[in-house]
Amino acid sequence: MPSVAVKLYSVFFKFMLKHRLQNRIQIDDTNGPNNGTSFGITSRPNEESIAASNPLFTDGVATKDLHVDPATSVSIRIFLPETCLGSPDLDSKSRVRVSTRPGSGSDPNQALILRRNSYGYCTTDSVIENQTNYNKNGFNHRRNSYGCNVVDDLGLKSENGVYRGYNPAGKKNCRKLPVMLQFHGGGFVSGSNDSAANDLFCRRIAKLCDVIVLAVGYRLAPENRYPAAFEDGLKVLHWLAKQANLAECSKSSVGSRRGGEGGGGGGGADLRKSDAYGHIADAFGASLVEPWLAAHGDPSRLDLAPYFYLCVLLGVSCGGNIADYVARKAVEEGKLLDPVKVVAQVLMYPFFIGSVPTHSEIKLANSYFYDKALCTLAWKLFLPEGEFDLDHPAANPLIPGRGPPLKWMPPTLIVVAEHDWMRDRAIAYSEELRKVNVDAPVLEYKDAVHEFATLDMLLKTPQAQACAEDIAIWVKKYISLRGHEFSY
């Protein structure tokens, strides 16, 4: 059973959540059914602590915020692990990673677990020291993608240690990482991508999975109801595909310029007139290449084409519903998303519901933190007025005719908690996926509650750490360099 502290905090949490939801219903009724705007809001700072972005590699991860759509408030926070600074030569060698999983009442320093990651990057002090010395000695200045001069040949850090990114053209001494889109929880009505809890969770996932995490700040209800949050998730995936194409165009332009200069033709002179490092002109005007993604987004982990960006989707609670929607749309759009390929998704205690109750929905209807009554209230705030239905395609993954066919869905890992009333429907979804030969395992955690691995109070528990490590092991099956996968 959950601890006494968890039970007491759950009572307080549900009381506050119910109060907030009822207030939003009153405000929504006062403003009328058309109170939302296309811009909307993505966070409620007065309800939770916010973690500022930090371009320094604090705790091994650098972060920065981007506003990716001028028409809405959708934004992302990029989590870049420090392992991206390593030389690609280290990728092809088997290394040892040192990680800790502190037990209850034990000294974390005595609980070291040697684990090899799928990229073979060693995070021991000796390798980090060697890499630091390598970056400090005898390199010249190089212009980054925004025209700033930074210290060292890699163009990675300024003198004060802030990571600025650099132009991808001609780069050879950096690691390429897959990208993960992360969607936070909060019942569609609360939470944010820059909250302190979500920031800590994404830092942990970025380090353990060795990926670039893009935490999506989607629009919240009731200011923006369905399908706003779902469309925002898909919009970020399209933005990522555009960034991948712009990065490739940038490299092609610079390569053509160098070829023209070497051959003495007029093409090189024409290319010199444009700034291929700073932006690429496309059908919609000038678009900036995001330097962190251009420098470290992985364009070559599949042998199917010259370049593909591997993308994993990770959704927490209601974010799991968004991730599943984005995965379905990615399947439907197919090659239209090239060069981005969604290769897997992780649904952590997804916010699924239905009109016909499951066993867990009956037995655990008054469970911890998010009980069934509060979640139903959240769905009423999220779904458009007049369309409230617990069998809505956004709510119930098992209704007939919900396309595309499940056999086309990407591999799906589902995390559930023993004391979560939504667990049975999530398990049923995984069973339907396995029936059509989709890799869809379920990780069930005993004595766990909804959001046990992402809630602010529970983030630092051994169970939350173990869950993140288990997710990393499974995810690396689909983002590993060939020949360096884990053994199972």
Which amino acids are annotated catalytic? 317, 420, 450
Alpha-carbon distances of 200 from 218, 300, 399, 442, 454, rounded to whole Å: 19, 29, 35, 24, 9
d(CA 202, CA 80): 10
Q: Which residue has the tokens 């602010």?
A: 456
What phi-psi label fits residue 144: left (phi over 0), alpha (psi between -120 and 50 degrees) or beta?
beta
- Residue 26 to residue 142: CA distance in whole angstroms: 56
User: Does residue 367 contact residue 420 with C-beta atoms inside 8 Å?
Assistant: yes
